Structure formats: C-alpha cells, structure tokens
Amino acid sequence: MGSKTGINKLLSLVKKNKLQQALKLGTRLCKSEPYNADAWSLLGSIHGQLGDYANALGASQKALTLQGNRLDALSNAAFASLSLGDAGNATHYYAKGVTVSPESPQLHNGLGCALRISGEYAQAIPALQRAISLQPAYAEPHYNLALIFKTQGLISHAIDSFRKALLYKPNAEAVMLELATCLQQAGSFDEALTLYNNLLKTNPEHRWALTGKASTYEMLGDYDQAWQTINPLKHWLDKDPAVADVYATCATRIGKQDEAKTAIEKCLSSHGINIKANQDRISSMNFKLGLLHEKSAEYDKAFECYKRANELHSNDQEADKAIKFMAHTRNFFTADLFKSVTPANTSGDSLVFIVGMPRSGTSLVEQILASHTKVHGAGESEALTESVATFLSQSEVCGFEFDNNKILQQPLLETAAKNYLQKLFKGIDKNLFVTDKMPHNFLRLGMVALLFPEAKIIHCMRDPMDTCLSIYSNGLSTAHPYASDLEQLGQHYRAYTELMNHWRATLPVQILDIHYEKLVENPEDEIKHMLNFIHLPWEDACLNHHQNERQVTTISYDQVRQPLYKSSIGRWQNFSRQLAPLKSVLD
C-alpha cells in the first residue's frame, strides 16, 4: 500500500469511527514507514480517541521529532499530557502550538487550562482572555477562567464567567454544577436550588445534583430536608468523596455524630478513591473527622486529622509573598504619604469595614451589627479588592505592590471610590450603614483611608493561639496559603500584627479594636461600644443576633445562628504539645 493511499484509508476509517481498524492500520503504517510524520500523528490521534493517552503521547512525540512544528501533533501531545496528569508537559506543547498558530482560540484555551491546573493563575488568565478575544462565544475559556476565580475566592467573577460559559454551551452539566456551587457560596440559594432541580428533572438520580441540593439545604439551616436528600446516596460513601463529605456534615447537624464518623472513615479507607482528583474533599473530610474526635476529647486523634488535611494544601512560595507584601505595605503607606495625597471626595461616612484575621470573630460582629435596623451586612465583598487592584503593579518579590504614580492621581482615587460604592450599594437603601466584612481588608486600610476618609474600621481581635488553631483546623481557601503550616501561620500572624500596629500609628481614619473574649463575656457593653462608634442608638435585636434570619455564607454560617458561647476560649490548650512550633513563632 502506498504512503498516500494508506494515509487516505486511515483518515476514512477515523471519519467512520472505525477506530480499532484504524489502530491496526496506523500501527502497520508506522512500522513500514517509520519516517512518515503524517502516520505517526494520526496514530497519536487514534490512541487519544481510544483513551490510550500514554501511546497517544508517544506517537505524537515521534511525529514531532520528524516534523517539529506539526500543529496536530502538538495539540495531541498536549491533550495526552493533560489527560495523563502532566500539566507542565501540556503547557510546553500548548505554548509551542501558540507560537505556530497564534490566532487559534483552542490552543490559547488549552494553554490557559494547563496553566490553571499547574496553579499558574497569573499566566493562565491572559491566555484564556486571549482565547475569548479570538472567539467570544467559546464556552471553554469562560469555564476555565471561572474555575480560577472560584479557586481565588472571587466568587462574583466566577459566577459571571460560569454564566457566560452556560450561555454559549446551554445545559452543560459541569458548568451548571459549578455555577450552582458558587451561587450557594454567594448566598443565592434559590437560584442554586433551581439549577440542581433542573439537572434532576433530566436525571432524578443525579448524585452530584442531589449532593449539592443537600448541601444548600444544610447551609439554609433546613437540616431535616438536607438529610432526606443525601441519605438515599448512602451506597456511594466509599466511592464518591463529595457524597461522603456532605453526608457527614448533614449527619452531624441532626445529631448522628457516630454515623458521620463512620461515613468519613469508610470513604478515607477506600482504595478506589483518586486522592489527587479529590484532594479538596478528602481534606474537608479530615477536618470534619478531626472536629468529631475533638468533641469526644480525643485530642491526639483530632490533631492528626487536622495535620493530614493541611498536608494536602501547601504553598510555601505564596505564603512568603503574602508576608513580603505586608512589609511592602508598611513601607509604602507612611504618615508623609497620607499628608501628600489628596483623598477622594467621597466621605464614606456610612461605611463600616470589619477586618481582622480569619476566625477572629468578624462574622459574629457583622451579624450583630446587621441585626440593627439601620445596618445592612454586605458580607465578604470583593468590591474593595477590585477597586484597589487599579493601584497595584506586578512584583516578583511579593506578587503585587502599590504603585506610587497611580496613588498620587486623584482622579483615579475618585473613580475607584465611585466604582466601589456602586458595587457595594447595588440594591441597598442609601440611608443605611453598610458593613464590608472581608477580613483581609486589613491589607488595604491605607487605600480605605484614601478612598473613604470618614469610613469606620472595626478590627476584630482574638487570642493569637486560638485564632491560629481555628484557622489550622478549618479548611480555608487557597487564597490563604499560610494556613496549612504552623510556622508559616505564626509568621503570617506576626506580620499581620505589625501591619495593624502600623495602621494605628499612621492611619488618618478611626479604628476600633473589638476583642472576641470581651465580646462573649460582656456582650451588651461591647455591642454598645460598637454602636456608639458608628453613632447608632441601642437596639435589643443586636443582643439577639442569632434570631436574625439573614443568610451568612462564610465558614461561620452555623455559629452565628447560635447565642454567644465561651467554649472556644482557650481551646488551643488542648493541643499545647502539637502547637509548640506555632507558639515558638508567636512568642
């Protein structure tokens, strides 16, 4: 059979989806014509379509040794690498493909996807944006971009991108599930339930839709409905970590702690679970199992679970950048800078920024204030992060740094302030005080002073050891790279303390420190202190914050539904031996 005839027959078999016949012919062709790049590239494609990615990669690489810039072989090699879990190798092939065909939206999307999986978000985002600019109605780059935003905790951006992906690829299950999850995180529970129910109309036994639905009911506080939804999936406990994770949560809520523990242990001991693919769920279950052991006073077992959960998430480089960014911020926002810069002409006197380390009581403080008739709780808004981004430039040392030239431009400050207010007050009565409870806004208080010189800042504080243990024993998002290592956590806490001391010394805006321990010991006095700071009269509802039906979507969503309790004070002492590395840094 001649070379051209053989290739044509091979293409015909592939077109007719006769892949096994094509595989046999392609293998023979490559043996008889080992220098035929067309044959090797087609063989790589056939292996890929049959799911044999190792041989797909090998054949594609052979084609590339013969003809280095073959676009089909580059694309096949990249996809095979990605399917084999080698995102770095995929990035190499996609990057080369982009140089060969810079106008290909598919290759830019593939590059962005590979970089996303590698955690290289700063490089992934431009690649995906380029794919979108080349083909705006292309669903996949919108989806990949949304996954990055979700991982970064930018939930409103993730929702926007998932919506676009769904617009261009209606009824795509993966997109619907991810969008529903983000809507749930944003507190849009009704819309999340609608998406889950739409999936269940097509497939009443769709386990991920049922799992998401149960999780939504649990966050709404409807524990009985949550249990009724998840319980029929019990047979999936040793097969699907997502089911086991939500099942354990729902079981705990209705007092079935032993059943929750059994469900987690059954899943974690299963040999059929892909740990890498289910890393977040496995981590989450270890955190839950640790808490169950802790409630049974099994502190050694509890800490081992917390340690295993955190070992699945480690990012030393990003944790170090966060500390360097705080040092840069202290050096940048000096008393002289505040004297030399003309702030925005927006007073912000109705804004209350609630800041502090995660797990320091910020959700509780916001829930108390939002129980007042004159206060709206905006939750963890991304609006300030977005507004401040205007004034940042990329930095190899700390990721980003403030740009002096931009800070000095008063029109830029005016625009940023107006954009922030537009986003925060969307659909909110302008006569109300509004709280912005993004804890890590303590990083941006210098910008708060320049954008809103009359804003109020409430700084939540708690015993450092209790704060750090609470962070370590709860799964925070990847936006908190310091959280999974005790020494890094201690270093981050020290840097935060130094930054807050700097703000108290230099910031031309009022800061009120609220201590968690004082708040739970003397709630009425501390609440009056906060209301006086904001210039609001007393209302009994603030003392009964747990009766407020306002939805909270942070990790503390269940705790703010309860009356104030003191049981978490001094919690760290149960783990004093294990926490020695943390204490040595903090001391």
Half-sphere exposure at residue 479, Cβ-oriented, CA atoms within 13 angstroms: 17
* Per-residue model confidence (pLDDT) at position 561: 52
**pLDDT score of 385 more than 60:** yes
pLDDT band at 547 (very low <50, low <70, confident <90, very high): confident
Mean pLDDT in residue range 382-387:
87
Winning range, highest mean pLDDT, from 8-12, 91-95, 543-547: 91-95
- In the predicted model, what is the mean pLDDT of residues 1-30? 87
**Neighbouring residues of 145: CB distance < 8 A, sequence distance ≥ 6:** 112, 125, 128, 129, 132, 161
pLDDT at residue number 303: 97
Q: Is the pLDDT of residue 382 over 90?
A: no
Question: Which is nearest to 155 in space by CA: 384, 381, 436?
Answer: 381
Q: Give the pair of three-digit tokens for residue 266.
A: 């059954």
pLDDT over 70 (residue 334): yes
pLDDT at 22: 93
Q: Which of 111, 186, 177 is nearest to 144 (CA)?
A: 111
**Contacting residues for 347 by C-beta, under 8 A, at least 6 apart:** 452, 453, 454
pLDDT at 572 over 60: yes
The number of C-alpha atoms within 13 Å of 532 and in the hemisphere containing its C-beta is 8
The single-letter DSSP state of residue 460 is E
Q: Is a pLDDT exceeding 70 seen at residue 138?
A: yes
CATH of region 324-586, choose from 3.30.420.40, 2.40.10.10, 3.40.50.300, 3.20.20.450: 3.40.50.300
pLDDT of residue 250: 97
Is residue 554 very low, low, confident or very high in pLDDT (cuts 50, 70, 90)?
A: low
Structure tokens at 586: 């903090």
Mean pLDDT, rounded, for 72-93: 96
pLDDT, one tens digit per residue, over 337-347 is 999 999 999 88
Higher local confidence (pLDDT), 76 or 321: 76
Tens of pLDDT, residue by residue over 408-445, are 788 899 999 999 998 888 888 888 999 999 999 999 99
Task: State residue 555's pLDDT score.
Answer: 54
pLDDT at residue 317 above 90? no
User: What does the pLDDT read at residue 552?
Assistant: 55
* Residue range 118-125: mean pLDDT, rounded: 91
Q: What distance in Å separates the CA atoms of residue 215 and residue 227, rounded to the nearest whole number?
A: 9
Q: Measure the CA angle with vertex 178, ends 98 and 231; round to 5°.
A: 145
- CA dist., res. 214 & res. 226, Å (int): 4
342 secondary structure, DSSP code: P
pLDDT the model gives residue 550: 54
Residue 283 scores a pLDDT above 60: yes
- Angle value at C-alpha 265, between 255 and 479, nearest 5 degrees: 85
Cα angle for residues 318, 488, 383 (degrees, 5° grid): 50
Answer yes or no: is pLDDT of 520 > 70: yes
> What average pLDDT score do residues 544-559 get?
61
CA distance 534 to 456: 7
Helix segments in 16-120, DSSP class H: 19-32, 37-49, 53-66, 71-83, 87-100, 105-117
Does the pLDDT value for residue 402 go beyond 90?
no
500-539 burial, b at 16+ Cβ within 10 Å, e below that, comes to bebbeebbebebbebbbbebbeebeebbbebbebbebeee
The CA distances from residue 357 to 49, 311, 466, in Å, are 49, 21, 11
Give me the mean pLDDT over the 518-543 stretch.
Answer: 95
pLDDT for position 273 = 84
For residue 494, count other CB atoms closer than 10 A to its CB: 15
Confidence bin at 353 (pLDDT 50/70/90): very high
**305 pLDDT more than 60:** yes
Is 80 exceeded by the pLDDT of residue 349?
yes
Q: For 36-76, what is each residue's pLDDT tens digit?
A: 999 999 999 999 999 999 999 999 999 999 999 999 999 99
Would you state the pLDDT for residue 476?
79
**HSE value, Cβ hemisphere, 13 Å, CA-based, for 169:** 15
Query: What pLDDT is attached to residue 549?
Result: 59
Alpha-carbon distance of 134 to 108, in angstroms, equals: 9
Per-residue pLDDT, averaged over 143-167, amounts to: 94
Cβ neighbours for 68, distance < 8 A, ≥ 6 positions apart: none
- Top-confidence residue, 538 or 3: 538
Question: Would the pLDDT of 540 be above 90?
Answer: yes
Q: Which residues pair with 515 in a beta bridge?
A: 461
Rounded-to-integer distance, Cα 426 and Cα 450, Å: 22
- Count helices and strands (H / E) in the chain: 30, 7
| Residue among 124, 169, 170 at smallest CA distance from 151 | 124
**Adjacency order of strands within the sheet including 351-355:** 375-377, 433-436, 351-355, 456-461, 511-515
Torsion angles phi and psi, residue 3, rounded to 5: -55, -50
pLDDT value for 372: 95
The whole-model pTM stands at 0.83
The single-letter code of the amino acid at 384 is L
Rounded Cα gap, residues 188 and 179, in angstroms? 11
Q: What is the pLDDT of residue 513?
A: 97
Mean pLDDT estimate for the chain: 92
Q: Parse the chain into domains and list their residue ranges.
A: 324-586
